[in-house]
Amino acid sequence: MQKNYQQKTLGILGGGQLGRMIIQSAINYNIDIHILDPDIHAPCQSICQKFVHGKLTDFDTVYAFGKDCDIITIEIENVNTEALEKLASEGKEVYPQPHLIRMIQDKRLQKTFYKEKGIPTADFILTENREEVINNAAFLPAVNKLGREGYDGRGVQILRSQTDLDKSFDAPGLLEKLIDFDKEISVIVAKNKKGDVVAYPSVECSFHPTANLVEFLFAPAEISPEIESKAKKIAVDVIHELDLVGLLAVEMFVTKNGEVLVNEIAPRPHNSGHHSIEANFTSQFEQHLRAVMNMPLGNTELRSPAAMVNLLGEDGYSGEAFVEGLEEAMGQKGVYVHLYGKKLTKPFRKMGHVTLIDENLDNLKKRASEIKSLIKIKA
């Protein structure tokens, strides 16, 4: 007899908060989850059926981990894709597909892909080192990105003028035209092996001014129906062009003259979809499971407008985390606290998030700011 979902073992490379929220969904389907993570205290460590302590970038570790699973997926892109390719060639189901993870790992390949496929994106120049950035000073103001290893705001910086050039990255990367955008939005799409595709409504992201991390998110995005459908179409085009099986977050800029440009993509649950746990008919975490396990995809509509506030480690505090203001927040209607099980805080570390649901969008904005000032992660 064919294995039922709950008889299959799903291996996840990475055991952070994204894995943790995938597990919260997987429990509903009796799916056995194996986790590989280099941190012995990873957020998933005590709630999965098997925890393997090891490096995500090591071929032998990833290969041995995957041999034990039926389906393998990721919650972070920085993994050994050669091992995943070998596993796939030996019959394991690996989603997203390893060659796509490898491509997305490298922002240079990502940008080149958009250009080749006619996906709208900001103009860019590939640069091999600092000298090449300096030689392209005429391209400024621009965003200077490292090709690889950038994550959670690292490896990305703005070069406004010549005086910024001496901080440019001295490694393979790119220069991207600085977009004078009106809004940053994100559309999450998913595709299963059968080929079904669904798209979530756009959300609007507001970034922390210095940490380059999402600080607030609002769903739905306040954009015209034309921009909404343009953004959805682009996100669906991207997942089709990639032919990716799994979940894909497509971050986009909406320019002041109504253009929609792809900024970056992530082939996994994403910070811009955390609100979906309470706000949408199907959460992005369950959708990821459905996509990689070839289940029917779930409805993506919003049940209620929502805001999401990232709980970042307070600047100036490092050590054992203590959450201030939790009680006051929990007393409010429609406030959902998610802590990620990280014992230690440090400045700007993602320690949790809060989702707010409220029928009134203006209220949501006001309340999101209040939650932000109320809850502090200190040590």
Total Cβ atoms within 10 A of residue 154 = 11
- 243, 281, 319, 360: which one contacts a second copy (CB under 8 A)? 281
**In the complex with a second copy, which residue's Cβ is closer, 171 or 295?**
295
Amino acid 277 reads I
Contact 175, 156 (CB under 8 A): no
331 contacts a second copy (rule: CB under 8 A) = yes
Which two three-digit tokens encode residue 169? 């990255």
296 contacts a second copy (rule: CB under 8 A) = yes
- 52, 337, 361, 379: which one contacts a second copy (CB under 8 A)? 337
Smallest distance, a second copy to C-beta of residue 134, A: 47
Ligand-binding site membership of 177 (annotated): yes
| CA–CA gap between residue 10 and residue 1 (Å, rounded) | 19
For the CA atoms of 338, 204, 334, 368, the dihedral, rounded to the nearest 10 degrees, stands at 80
Ligand-binding site membership of 93 (annotated): no
Q: Which stretch binds a second copy (CB under 8 A): 40-48, 94-102, 134-142, 240-248?
A: 40-48
- 64, 125, 295, 361: which one contacts a second copy (CB under 8 A)? 295
Give the binding-site size for a second copy (rule: CB under 8 A). 38
- 27, 60, 224, 315: which one contacts a second copy (CB under 8 A)? 27
Ligand-binding site membership of 176 (annotated): yes
Q: What are phi and psi of 39, to 5 degrees?
A: -100, 120
**In the complex with a second copy, which residue's Cβ is closer, 257 or 333?**
333
Ligand-binding site membership of 320 (annotated): no
- 49, 162, 229, 369: which one contacts a second copy (CB under 8 A)? 49
| CA–CA gap between residue 21 and residue 276 (Å, rounded) | 11
Ligand-binding site membership of 194 (annotated): no
| CA–CA gap between residue 67 and residue 157 (Å, rounded) | 39
**In the complex with a second copy, which residue's Cβ is closer, 80 or 283?**
283
Distances in Å between the Cα of 272 and the Cα atoms of 6, 83, 356, 364 are 28, 29, 14, 16
Smallest distance, a second copy to C-beta of residue 52, A: 15
Task: Compute the 3-state secondary structure of the chain and give helix, strand, coil in percent, each to the nearest 5.
Answer: 30, 30, 40
Rounded to 5°, angle at Cα 121 from 305 and 100: 85
Q: How far is CA 99 from the centre of its chain?
A: 18
Beta strands (DSSP E) in 172-331 are 173-177, 181-191, 197-199, 203-207, 214-219, 246-255, 260-266, 306-312, 319-320, 322-324
Q: How far is CA 220 from the centre of its chain?
A: 18
48 contacts a second copy (rule: CB under 8 A) = yes
305 contacts a second copy (rule: CB under 8 A) = no
Cis peptide before 120 (omega within 30 of 0): no
Q: Which stretch binds a second copy (CB under 8 A): 34-42, 221-229, 249-257, 337-345?
A: 337-345
Nearest residue to 254 via CA among 179, 200, 181: 181
63 contacts a second copy (rule: CB under 8 A) = no
Q: Which stretch binds a second copy (CB under 8 A): 47-55, 62-70, 74-82, 364-372?
A: 47-55
Which two three-digit tokens encode residue 379? 């040590």
Ligand-binding site membership of 179 (annotated): yes
| CA–CA gap between residue 291 and residue 282 (Å, rounded) | 12
138 contacts a second copy (rule: CB under 8 A) = no
4 contacts a second copy (rule: CB under 8 A) = yes
52 contacts a second copy (rule: CB under 8 A) = no
Contact 72, 33 (CB under 8 A): no
Ligand-binding site membership of 184 (annotated): yes
40 contacts a second copy (rule: CB under 8 A) = no
338 contacts a second copy (rule: CB under 8 A) = yes
- 86, 145, 275, 290: which one contacts a second copy (CB under 8 A)? 290
Smallest distance, a second copy to C-beta of residue 30, A: 5
Distances in Å between the Cα of 154 and the Cα atoms of 149, 264, 348 are 8, 14, 12
Smallest distance, a second copy to C-beta of residue 304, A: 7
302 contacts a second copy (rule: CB under 8 A) = no
Annotated binding site for ATP: 107, 145, 176-179, 184, 263-264
